[in-house]
Amino acid sequence: MDGWGFADTRFVVQPNGSVVLTGNRYNISSVELPSLMPWMAQKLGAPLGYDNRNEPHYPPQVPTARQAPELLAALGGFLQPDQISSDPLVRLRRGHGHTGAEIWAIRYEQLDRVPDLVVFPTSHDQVVAITDAAKAHGACLLPFGGGTNVTDALRLPMDEQRVVIAVDMRRMNKILWIDPVNRMACIEAGATGRHIVSELAKYGMTMGHEPDSLEFSTLGGWIATNASGMKKNRYGNIEDLVLDMQVVTAHGVVQRPQIGPRESIGTNPKQVMFGSEGNFGIITSAVVKLFPVPEVQRYGSVLFPDLGSGLSFLYDLQKSGAVPASVRVMDNTQFHFGQALKPKTHGLAARAKSEIEKLFVTQVKGYDPFKLAVATIVFEGSKEEVAFQEQTLYQIAKQHGGMKAGATNGERGYQLTFGIAYIRDLTFEHWAIAESFETSVPWSRALELYERVRARVHREHEARRLPGNPFFTGRITQVYPTGVCIYFYLGFYAKGVDDPVQKYTELEHAAREEILAAGGTLSHHHGVGKIRQDFLKDIYSDGARTVMQQVKRALDPSNLFGASNHGVRGMIALEHPSKDSAT
């Protein structure tokens, strides 16, 4: 697969210029979207269109696999033939995530190093046996979940001379047990979000964790990246939801005989695995908290005069104690992006209604259409909880110049999150390169950070004399007592640009510099991987980095788990066997 998501789903530009999302999985599937390409072309200042295509040539040439017959024989002693693959395309897929650079590489260039072998364990014991075999034969292990990371976490270092085994966890997708009385479940780490949601719903329960990548990312991946979800206000982030986990390490299995609601038991080894990004071991299962499926779920949306008003609304909402499951405030560009994703209006009455609504917003309410922002909201809970949240939220919104924009727009905005994930692949096919990044920032500096990053992106775009206009947009996605998460999208028209991936990397690097200078964090939920490891010296003291080095040295002295994220490669003296002895 050369892009995001389901094989039957992709955005396609029609000869008439309209865009259609193929398949029938989303609320914008199989309908004409006449405004999308014209709007994108206008924002980028570029001639995007049906005839201006950057035709992919997937699959690329895949590097030859390193051979290890003795290792292969050892694995064959306990795995079935269909659990071991050296197929080039199977190896290719386990050698990349979903950064723009990686997808550009597999579509238009190539990856120079991918795993040599892929295994598909079906049980914890098989993961233990795989780990033992890799240790005995001088191989390197790379855990693979949904492959949705956007941090280069799966990219292999070119100087890795050992045989690399990608351990694809997705056949370990069972719910091992459910305790509805104590509201806990034990779930295998390879279970995807959509599978977890559907299986728990059969018991009237939910985990409540819904990242944007819900359909494809896995429980193990959520833990390894210290993930956050769209409904974290109600259910918490992944570190709030996981009670315990089972992990295979170089020193054996980390596991516990029983789980309590909370403990004080000294330094708990499970804590090291949050955000570990494949460096310390392979997570095979986790015990997680459960919640009853909410009695009521309702959507809402609010228009605000500008992003600053939306931010002030969120600040007062957070203090009120009535924060709904999800509330996200999108800037003006994302508002118009959402409008461009609306299907063609049919019928005189529908078109008239649309025009009247626009006139009311701009003429009666006096909103500037090029400044206004929009909040999309998901309320969940009992009837009483939701009623209280709705009443409080809309009162606070009104105090900040907000105007109700309806449940339909709120539901559509929330569900669009899953559909628009395919947009990036569409832009590549029409000579635009784009990607997302995020941060968290204290309340008092949030708007300043947004404005500074936007200004820096424009300066960097101009300094490189890139064509057209930079695409820049942001939304405030999660709220905390101390601040917010801001999620950005950045892109530019790349036709005629020498090495567009490098140019994008430079722009995002500059944006990240500005984020840190404005008081933001290195990442809120994407993680570090390899794409941000150069910034670790800016956020950790020498002493802190030494602690990280020593943790890696202690947990994995021979670098068996060689993902090399967080800059751990080079932190320890690599004592693994040479290439010759491994083969």
**Residues in the chain with pLDDT values less than 70:** 346-364, 569-583
- Rounded Cα distance between 563 and 583, Å, is 20
Closest listed residue to residue 500, CA positions, set 492, 489, 511, 508: 492
Three-state DSSP class for 256?
A: coil
Three-state DSSP class for 198?
A: helix
Q: Please give the structure tokens belonging to residue 321.
A: 């104690």
Helix (H) or strand (E) holding 41: helix 36-44
> Is the bond leading into 59 cis (omega within 30 degrees of zero)?
yes
- Which residues participate in catalysis according to the annotation? 487
pLDDT of res. 417: 86
Residue partners of 186: CB distance under 8 A and separation at least 6: 175, 176, 177, 285, 286, 287, 288
Three-state DSSP class for 344?
A: coil
pLDDT of res. 363: 57
pLDDT of res. 576: 41
CB distance 561 to 250 below 8 Å: yes
Q: Please give the structure tokens belonging to residue 206.
A: 């939910």
Q: Read out DSSP for 134-180?
A: HHHTT-EEEEESSS--SSSTTPPPTT--S-EEEEE-TT---EEEEET
**In degrees, to the nearest 5, what angle opens at C-alpha 72 toward C-alphas 125 and 141?**
60
Q: Please give the structure tokens belonging to residue 528.
A: 């570090």
pLDDT tens readout for residues 335-375: 999 999 998 775 554 544 454 456 556 655 778 999 999 99
Dihedrals phi, psi of 188, to nearest 5 degrees:
-65, 150
pLDDT of res. 431: 97
pLDDT tens readout for residues 428-478: 999 999 999 999 999 999 999 999 999 999 999 999 999 999 999 999 999
pLDDT of res. 322: 96
CB distance 485 to 439 below 8 Å: yes
Q: How many CB atoms lie within 10 A of CB 241?
A: 23
Beta strands in 18-151 (DSSP E): 19-21, 32-33, 84-85, 117-119, 140-144
DSSP 300: E
Closest listed residue to residue 150, CA positions, set 108, 212, 107: 212
Parallel, antiparallel or unpaired: strands 205-206 and 242-249: unpaired
Three-state DSSP class for 430?
A: coil
pLDDT of res. 499: 96
pLDDT of res. 569: 64
- Rounded Cα distance between 490 and 93, Å, is 25
Parallel, antiparallel or unpaired: strands 140-144 and 117-119: unpaired
pTM: 0.94
